[in-house]
Amino acid sequence: MKLVRALPTAALALALGLSAAAPAAAAGPVAPKVTAPRTSPTPGFAGEGTSSACYTNPYSGAGAGWIGLGDVTLSAKVGSPSATQFQTTFQLWDTAYGGKRTDFATGWSGSEARTTVSRDLLKDGGQYAWRARATDGKLTGAYSAWCYFRVDHTQPTAEVSTDATPKMQGVEATFTLKGTDTGSEIACARWQTTPIFGVGWKCSDEAVDSHVVRLTDGAADIKLKPATWGSQYVYLQTMDNAGNLGEANLSYYAQSSTAPAAFGDIDADGKPDVLVPDAAGNLRKPGSNPLDTASARAAAAPGGSGSWAGVQYTHRGSLGGRPVDDLLGHAPGAAHLYFFRNDGGGLFTEQGATTVRKPNTCVNAAFEPIVCADHGLGADWSKVTRIAAFGSPSGDSPVGASLPRTSVLFVENGRLWLVQRGSVNNLEAEAVLLSGNDTRWAGYELLTPGRAQGTDFPTLWARSTADGTIRALTMGGTPELPDFSAFADPSAGPVLTTLAPAGHPRVGSDGDLTGDGLPDLWSADASGKVTVFPGTGTAAPHPTVTGFGPAV
């Protein structure tokens, strides 16, 4: 038997005319690499809203971004396939002619390296660059690219001024805001009438807030209605492109308003105002600047929905004796009714709301005691479906320069109740049942136009949610002994007009909106656009509305 010797693989390959592959070389160690360099705070241009963690070309566009007053942190990621611990050296370069380079060595760390440069090492107005490299103890990697930034340590100037014209509550006045900056240049300004500025406001906020303005040639004029009489302030912050802030304020005196007090007025100009939800859920006057502070912010709406669109709200007179309306709000089904105090200039949610007491004693329209529970009045507001600030059941005429106390109408379990103002910012403990012990009012909305039936008593308009008919209900009697018998049945009043709920989902009346002495009717769509239907009739001696004219 003949034995055959097996050839080695290499020899076999040569025999077959194939070349053998060379053995793979073992991978050698790799020097650490620095990536993702970042400067913090991020250099940028506050006026443009642009920034970059690493400006690599100081000659491109507007140049390297600015950093304001404060220390600067330099950081980067470090990596290598052959090591996990590194020592990193950051090199800072003052790019001015003859500027020195300073090294900042870190301790040993993992993939994240950082160092902090004290503001005292940075010159105001200077431009700096930095780079970094790392070592694993055996090999040292190459430097990263230079990152540039500029330094502005000087706050911008700020100034508020106004002319010598006497200022008056509720009357628009002009104030001038000024600011300059010789370093990174002025970017924008923010003004307000309260002393504490929010942290983190930006120049780009001008798109949503009229209090943020640009200064043209270092100045801007603003219009402001003093909310109350007495000493007032305008507070100003200016911002430069490095984000530094300058501050100033102006104190001035506002005379008390000479406009006659009027039910429905929220901003002391003597004229009734309409409030409707805008598309974002805020309560605003129709036609007001959408960038201005809302009369009632959406986030403050009762019930936590973030919108006033589904909230029962009303304003007509004050529960605190003020010459402007306060606001009441109730989320359907909620246990609480909330009181929102007017700041004097028509803002209701710049301070917290308070709860309003629920009456716990009851009388009928003849002021005879009745048992609340037997007549549908609960211990809280959860069964209330309508609320309306009514005015004074003793008559709406001013007493001297002041308005009489307002009252509140509400529908609960289909019954109509009246409760008058009690202690400051609250209601009385006693409620008056104006309707019968039935549910006739369950299908009606409450509109409170004020005097509209030829007497000094306020009128109630009731709109049917079924067919949109609007009927007038009139008080009688005397201021000492008012007669509410007409309020027993909402379907019994004369029809003034019809606004079908499908085409007019939100209607109301706040008094005379057109200046002819007659209360008017308004309708609002979902976006907050308001259509006014002028009241027709006679204005003297007290307004009598018999119908409504074409929409305006």
Q: To which H or E segment does residue 67 belong?
A: strand 66-67
User: Distance between CA 383 and CA 406 in Å, rounded?
Assistant: 23
Its pTM stands at 0.82
Residues in Cβ contact with 104 at an 8 Å cutoff, skipping those fewer than 6 apart: 74, 89, 90, 91, 92, 115, 117
User: Pick from 102, 116, 107: which is nearest to 134 by CA?
Assistant: 107
Other C-beta atoms lying within 10 Å of the C-beta of residue 18: 10
Instruction: Report which DSSP code applies to 10.
Output: H
User: Distance between CA 523 and CA 533 in Å, rounded?
Assistant: 8
User: Distance between CA 159 and CA 237 in Å, rounded?
Assistant: 9
User: Distance between CA 97 and CA 108 in Å, rounded?
Assistant: 34
User: Distance between CA 238 and CA 178 in Å, rounded?
Assistant: 8
Same fold: 33-151 with 302-548: no
| pLDDT at residue number 27 | 57
Q: 378-418 pLDDT, tens per residue? A: 999 999 999 999 999 999 988 877 889 899 999 999 999 99
Please report, for the chain, the start and end positions of each structural domain, with discontinuous segments joined by +: 33-151, 157-255, 302-548
User: Pick from 343, 155, 162: which is nearest to 250 by CA?
Assistant: 162
- CA angle 268/195/292 to nearest 5° reads 50
Q: Would you identify the CATH topology of the domain 302-548?
A: Tachylectin-2; Chain A (2.115.10)
- CA angle 13/18/22 to nearest 5° reads 85
Residue with tokens 């241009």: 45
Taken in order 481, 485, 488, 490, is the CA torsion positive or negative? negative
> In this structure, are strands 245-255 and 167-168 parallel, antiparallel, or unpaired?
parallel
The class of domain 33-151 in CATH terms is mainly beta
Q: Which residues of the chain have pLDDT under 50?
A: 1-26
| pLDDT at residue number 398 | 85
Burial class (CB in 10 A: 0-12, 13-18, 19+), 32: buried
Whether the Cβ atoms of residue 37 and residue 53 lie closer than 8 Å to each other: yes
> In this structure, are strands 147-151 and 66-67 parallel, antiparallel, or unpaired?
parallel
Residues in Cβ contact with 213 at an 8 Å cutoff, skipping those fewer than 6 apart: 177, 188, 189, 190, 191, 206, 220, 222
Strands (E), 306-443: 312-314, 327-330, 337-340, 354-356, 361-364, 369-370, 384-389, 407-412, 415-420, 430-433
The class of domain 157-255 in CATH terms is mainly beta
| pLDDT at residue number 526 | 80
> In this structure, are strands 415-420 and 506-511 parallel, antiparallel, or unpaired?
unpaired
